[in-house]
Amino acid sequence: MDDRTIAPRDMSRLEKTSARLRSQIACLGLVIERIAGLSGPVFELGLGRGRTYDHLRWHMPGRDIYAFDREIVPIEDCRPPEECIVAGDLAVTLSRYAARFAGQVALANCDLGSYRQAHNEHMAALISPYLPQAVAPGGFVCSDLPLVLEGFELLPLPEGAVEGHYRVFRREGN
Ligand SMILES: C[S@@+](CC[C@H](N)C(=O)[O-])C[C@H]1O[C@@H](n2cnc3c(N)ncnc32)[C@H](O)[C@@H]1O
């Protein structure tokens, strides 16, 4: 492969990023509306620069949002309060927080993907077993990665979301 060869895929990196962000906003919009009557914290898995975290707190003021990442490097004005930062590898932190908030989490938003397929498969397999424990009946998981979640249904995407770039799962019950 020389410098000008592009590995096969269905769109450019820029288009992929745009599709993911548009889909994330549309899916979170749907879920934010649907959890208005459901108490319980939100988990933001993959704080990154804190843009999605900022979106969540903007649209759900007053809700406890626990932000997980192995590197805590948000944009300065997107930093969660210290007591809501969960620093460390999800392989260690998620099982602890899933047990602490068992059956209470109204929404777990998972934004953990990278350009590496092996990483994505590893993360999907790592988090899938813990989310059913954490999420409340009638609660939601949104994810950029395909997950296998026992006891959840995959919902049709809302308008504005692009198939394959974000997903909404609802836990059965209530
Ligand atoms: C796509 S970025 C998240 C972007 C973020 N939503 C934002 O608005 O800026 C993915 C994040 O997942 C984190 N991450 C990846 N693997 C992880 C792991 N095993 N444990 C904890 N965090 C991880 C990375 O450090 C990275 O910040």
CATH number at residue 52: 3.40.50.150
Residue 51 Cβ < 6 Å to ligand 1? yes
What integer pLDDT is reported at residue 173 of this predicted model?
Answer: 87
Query: Does the residue 4 lie in any domain?
Result: no
For residue 42, what are the β-bridge partners?
65, 107
134 within 8 A of 107, measured Cβ to Cβ = no
Question: If we measure between CA atoms, which residue out of 46, 17, 71 comes closest to residue 124?
Answer: 46
- The pTM of this model reads 0.95
Characterize the bridge pairing of strands 135-143 and 167-171: antiparallel
Q: Which domain holds residue 27?
A: 13-171
Residue 143 Cβ < 6 Å to ligand 1? no
Q: How confident is the model at residue 10 (pLDDT cuts 50, 70, 90)?
A: confident
The preferred substitution site among 52, 68, 112, 143 for testing ligand 1, maximizing ligand atoms within 8 Å of CB, is: 112
Res. 22: pLDDT tops 90: yes
Question: How much distance in Å is there from the Cα of 152 to the middle of ligand 1?
Answer: 23
What integer pLDDT is reported at residue 51 of this predicted model?
Answer: 98
What integer pLDDT is reported at residue 116 of this predicted model?
Answer: 93
Question: How much distance in Å is there from the Cα of 72 to the middle of ligand 1?
Answer: 9
Domain count, the chain: 1
Query: Does the residue 101 lie in any domain?
Result: yes
Query: Does the residue 59 lie in any domain?
Result: yes
Query: Does the residue 97 lie in any domain?
Result: yes
* CA 138 from centre of chain: 17
Per residue in 62-119, pLDDT (tens digit) is 999 999 999 999 999 999 999 999 999 999 999 999 999 999 999 999 999 998 999 9
Res. 5: pLDDT tops 90: no
The preferred substitution site among 44, 47, 144 for testing ligand 1, maximizing ligand atoms within 8 Å of CB, is: 47
Res. 15: pLDDT tops 70: yes
- How many other C-beta atoms lie within 10 A of the C-beta of residue 73? 10
Per-residue pLDDT, averaged over 109-130, amounts to 96
26 within 8 A of 157, measured Cβ to Cβ = yes
